[in-house]
Amino acid sequence: MLSRILLALSLVLLVTSLALIFFVVPTERTMGVVQRIFYWHVPLAWNSFLAFFVVFIASVAYLWKRTKNWDILASASAEVGVVFTTLFLISGSIWAKPIWGVWWTWEPRLTTALVLWLIYIAYLLVRAYASSSERGARFAAVVGIVGFLDVPIVFLSITLWRTQHPSAVIFTGGLADPRMILTLVVSIFTFTALYALLLVQRVAFKKGEEDLRRLKRLAESE
Amino acid sequence: MISRDDVGDKAIEVRKLTRTFDDFPALRGIDLEVARGESLVIFGPNGAGKTTLIRVLSTIIRPSSGTVLIDGLNIKEHAEKARRLIGVVSHHPFLYANLSAYENLEFYGRLYDVPDLKTRIGEVTTLVGMTARLHDRVSTFSRGMQQRFAIARALLHRPQIMLLDEPETGLDQQAVALLWEVLRGEAAARRTVVMTTHNLERGLDLASRLLIMSRGKIVFEGGGKSLDLAGLKQAYQDVTAEAGCPQ
Amino acid sequence: MTFWRKVFAITWKDVLSEFRAREIITSVLVFTILVIIIFNFAFGERVEMVAVAPGMLWVTFTFAGVLSLNRSFILEKEDGCFEGLLVSPASRDVIYTGKMLASLVFLLVIEAIALPVFAFLFNLTVLTPEITAITLLATIGFVACGTLFSALATNTKARELVLPILFLPVVVPVIIGAVNASELALSGKSWGDMTGWLGILAAFDVVFLTVAYLVFDYVIEE
Amino acid sequence: MENLGYLFAVYTIVWAVMFGYVLILIRGQNKLRQEIQQLKDSIKEKSP
């Protein structure tokens, strides 16, 4: 039921967001039409961060309560977060090409996202490398906590590093037109709904796998 | 917390203990009381949960559910106090190969806050008959010698309770004999001993009480004196036969 | 007081063991010198040494750190010694602090030998109070988070692989901070110019010492 | 206006990845449901 509502909501928002981006919002003067990437680029970043925050909270809760559901929530959110971060990196890189003539720029936010991406890939890998799933859950929770607390320090260090070695900066800020703000806000809601939808789906999937495992055990011991 | 008086003479009290590894139930509801000064020997086929039980009692593995009291101390809340009362001997000697036996014992002595450490190291080394090799590196020792020092290490802090997980693994006959001699001395000293072993004969000889475990449960319990070797062998065979073919 | 007595017992045991076998320090030192030589072949005379020296220095020390941290817990796992620690009344905090200090000693010894080699081979003045302070702060950060991850990695199926995968993205701030501060120090800048970087290094140290101390228990329990 | 390609590239990729991810999730769930059903049936058969 919840996933039906979320599916409908995200579809409606998605269409609205696309309509706003392609038909309503005015073209930004300095960057031209590619600036419209911004309206999805930013929500992706925002929701990656939200996803990793959820991983952090669920990891703390898992270590505290030791209930499987917290672990399922954490790992599902990490996976969706990695998908969002990947898309954020791709969109940032495609945006950099026409504006700066390069596919990659060591812009602080982009660089921080790259480091984050690597941390959460490691998060997903630790689970696979652990010798038992309970251990994997515990180790992943530790990485989820440590990794998230690392984010502000990573961002600070990269920002400070860039101010000393200046280079291309994607976010020149300045949303002059109210229609731009509206589009951004709608897009942020769109991706938040998408995040919620994917999370709910992924959690249900993982719970199903868990049930299947339990059933199989039951069938074996019959 | 339960006060010491309520506990009376129970060294170990285990209630409804379970432990699962992922989905595998290694321990499925263990209830066990061990009186102070008792020598409890646990038998059972491989995979019966003996090692898991010893590891839970020695606070290495946490229980999935149930309670474990060591001398009235719940190991959940008072793990450190409980650890002080326990001496553990397992398949591994827990000795650092690059250090001499003396340095190893000194190290563990510091962790346990053993008073008058030097004298105590001398005492336990004499007990296991290894005084001559005390200052040699552990890496130069045979398996049997390492295990002798492992026993010395476990006795170092005068534990009230000795937990031994198949301590005779890899030992030569002489070392096994010595180990048993030491343990008998320990039992006589009103020290509680809990041990797992495959050796029915020697186990029976030492035990004041014995258990057989199978598939995570205690399936047989008998007094050491009322049971002879033939009876134990029969009971053990019954259990393994049952465990061997489920249904 | 008993806390520190037990901590030093663990640290001393590691130092003594290392002094006997000289396994970690010798091999990591050889590795360090090899890396320096390879850097020399890679960059040769084409670049000015002052420009690449800080990067070279910290790439070398980072990988040296990974090697030495990995070894520290693997040695503990051999002969089941780690279980000996677990059944002893040394609390988990004691074990973490003791192992961390031992790794700190090893890395500092390695750096104390490698830095003069650097000075000698590349004609750099690296033996200054500034470089010493930076090295100390960065190395504390390395071992604070490295000890946690190394303990985690030894309980996985691919120990040698898991540590670098986890460790490298998380210590990005330390590497950025150390490289940039060293660069400033080598070009003769004053302490004042480095405060930002030293601040980031210190912040990382504080955050990671605290967090690792808090979650270490979950990495080693079963 | 030649930059339009980049714009479309971004929107297409984001769309495709999202769509693909949802598709994988739905497929996986369907397979899972089938497997669970099969298992339940086989258990029922064994003990009627």
**Confidence at residue A173, expressed as pLDDT on a 0 to 100 scale:** 56
CB contact under 8 A, B92 and C83: yes
Give percent of chain A with pLDDT exceeding 70. Answer: 93
Give the tens place of pLDDT for each residue, C46-78: 777 777 888 888 999 999 999 999 888 888 887
Q: Helix, strand, or coil here: B71?
A: coil
Highest-scoring range by mean pLDDT, A33-37, B184-188, C87-91:
C87-91
Check pLDDT > 70 for residue B225. Answer: no
Q: Which of B225-239, C78-92, D10-24 has the lowest mean pLDDT?
A: B225-239
Give the nearest chain B residue to C95 (CA atoms): B111
Across C180-189, average pLDDT: 87
Q: Which of A116-125, B94-103, C28-37 has the lowest mean pLDDT?
A: C28-37
Could you tell me the residue range of the domain that residue B79 belongs to?
1-83+162-167+194-247
Chain A hits for C173, Cβ within 8 Å: 150, 153-154, 156-157
Q: Does B56 touch chain C (CB under 8 A)?
A: no
CB contact under 8 A, C166 and A126: yes
Check pLDDT > 80 for residue B73. Answer: yes
CB contact under 8 A, A94 and D10: yes
**Is residue D7 one of the residues assigned to a domain?**
no
Chain C hits for B90, Cβ within 8 Å: 80, 83
Q: How many domains does chain C have?
A: 1
Comparing CA positions, the residue from C107, C110, C180, C116 lying closest to residue C142 is C107
Across D5-23, average pLDDT: 88
**Confidence at residue C142, expressed as pLDDT on a 0 to 100 scale:** 95
Q: Does C51 touch chain A (CB under 8 A)?
A: no
**Is residue B186 one of the residues assigned to a domain?**
no
Residue C136 near residue C112, CB atoms below 8 Å:
no
Give the tens place of pLDDT for each residue, C1-12: 789 999 999 999
Comparing CA positions, the residue from A116, A151, A156, A122 lying closest to residue A139 is A122
Q: How many domains does chain A have?
A: 1
Give the tens place of pLDDT for each residue, A100-132: 888 888 888 888 999 999 999 999 999 989 888
Highest-scoring range by mean pLDDT, A28-42, A170-184, C66-80, C170-184:
C170-184
B112 and B152 housed in the same domain: yes
CB contact under 8 A, B110 and C5: yes
**Confidence at residue B7, expressed as pLDDT on a 0 to 100 scale:** 47
CATH of the domain at B57: 3.40.50.300
CATH of the domain at A16: 1.20.120
Q: CB-based contacts of C26: which residues, under 8 Å, 6+ apart?
A: none
Domain boundary residue among B132, B158, B184? B158
Check pLDDT > 60 for residue A222. Answer: no
Instruction: Tell me the C-alpha to C-alpha distance, in Å, between residue B200 and each of B207, B220, B237.
Output: 10, 14, 11
> Token pair 């320990």 is at which residue?
B186
**Confidence at residue B31, expressed as pLDDT on a 0 to 100 scale:** 92
**Confidence at residue C61, expressed as pLDDT on a 0 to 100 scale:** 93
Chain A hits for B21, Cβ within 8 Å: 132, 134
Q: CB-based contacts of A205: which residues, under 8 Å, 6+ apart?
A: A76, D25, D28, D29, D32
Chains touching chain B, criterion 3+ CB pairs below 8 Å: A, C
Check pLDDT > 70 for residue D8. Answer: yes
Could you tell me the residue range of the domain that residue D28 belongs to?
18-48
Using a 10 angstrom Cβ sphere, with 0-12 exposed, 13-18 middle and 19 or more buried, the burial of residue A97 is middle
Q: How many domains does chain D have?
A: 1
Give the tens place of pLDDT for each residue, A146-195: 999 999 999 888 888 877 766 555 555 566 678 888 888 899 999 999 99
Domain boundary residue among B111, B137, B158? B158
Amino acid (one-letter) located at B101: A
**D2, D12, D21: best to mutate for the A interface, most A CBs within 10 A:** D21
B48 and B118 housed in the same domain: no
Domain boundary residue among B130, B158, B186? B158
A173-211 burial code (b ≥16 CB/10 A, e <16): eeeeeeebeebbebbbbbbbbbbbbbbbbbbbbbebbbe
Chain A hits for D7, Cβ within 8 Å: 33-34, 36-37
Could you tell me the residue range of the domain that residue C25 belongs to?
3-219
**Is residue B34 one of the residues assigned to a domain?**
yes
**Confidence at residue B245, expressed as pLDDT on a 0 to 100 scale:** 44
Interface pTM, i.e. ipTM = 0.88
Give percent of chain C with pLDDT exceeding 90. Answer: 53
Give the nearest chain C residue to A156 (CA atoms): C200
Q: How many domains does chain B have?
A: 2
Chain D hits for A91, Cβ within 8 Å: 10, 13-14
**Confidence at residue B246, expressed as pLDDT on a 0 to 100 scale:** 43
CB contact under 8 A, D10 and A212: no
What is the band of B243 on the pLDDT scale with cuts at 50, 70, 90? low
CB contact under 8 A, C87 and B96: no
Across A30-43, average pLDDT: 82
Q: Is there contact between D and B if contact means ≥3 C-beta pairs under 8 Å?
A: no
H/E run at residue B24: strand B24-35
Find the CB nearest C9 among B91, B93, B110: B110
CB contact under 8 A, B83 and C84: no
**C148, C156, C197: best to mutate for the A interface, most A CBs within 10 A:** C156
DSSP A134-149: HHHHHHHHHHHHHHHH
CB contact under 8 A, A134 and B22: yes
Q: What is the dihedral of CA D36, D39, D40, D41, to 10 degrees?
A: 120
Check pLDDT > 50 for residue A5. Answer: yes
* Total beta-carbon pairs less than 8 A apart between chain B and chain C: 77
Across A1-16, average pLDDT: 86
The alpha carbon of residue B199 is apart from the nearest alpha carbon of chain C, in Å, by 23
**Confidence at residue A169, expressed as pLDDT on a 0 to 100 scale:** 57
Comparing CA positions, the residue from C171, C152, D29 lying closest to residue A137 is C152
Find the CB nearest C152 among A115, A142, A150: A142
The alpha carbon of residue A13 is apart from the nearest alpha carbon of chain C, in Å, by 35
Across C132-141, average pLDDT: 95
Across D22-31, average pLDDT: 88
CB contact under 8 A, A222 and D39: no
**Confidence at residue A118, expressed as pLDDT on a 0 to 100 scale:** 96
Q: Does A93 touch chain D (CB under 8 A)?
A: no
What is the band of C121 on the pLDDT scale with cuts at 50, 70, 90? confident
Chain A hits for D27, Cβ within 8 Å: none
B75 and B140 housed in the same domain: no
**Confidence at residue A166, expressed as pLDDT on a 0 to 100 scale:** 63
**C77, C200, C215, C219: best to mutate for the A interface, most A CBs within 10 A:** C215
Could you tell me the residue range of the domain that residue A153 belongs to?
2-221
The alpha carbon of residue B245 is apart from the nearest alpha carbon of chain A, in Å, by 12
Check pLDDT > 50 for residue A133. Answer: yes
Give percent of chain A with pLDDT exceeding 90. Answer: 43
B70 and B118 housed in the same domain: no
What is the band of B2 on the pLDDT scale with cuts at 50, 70, 90? very low
Across B20-42, average pLDDT: 88
Find the CB nearest A209 among D1, D32, D40: D32
Give the nearest chain B residue to A211 (CA atoms): B23
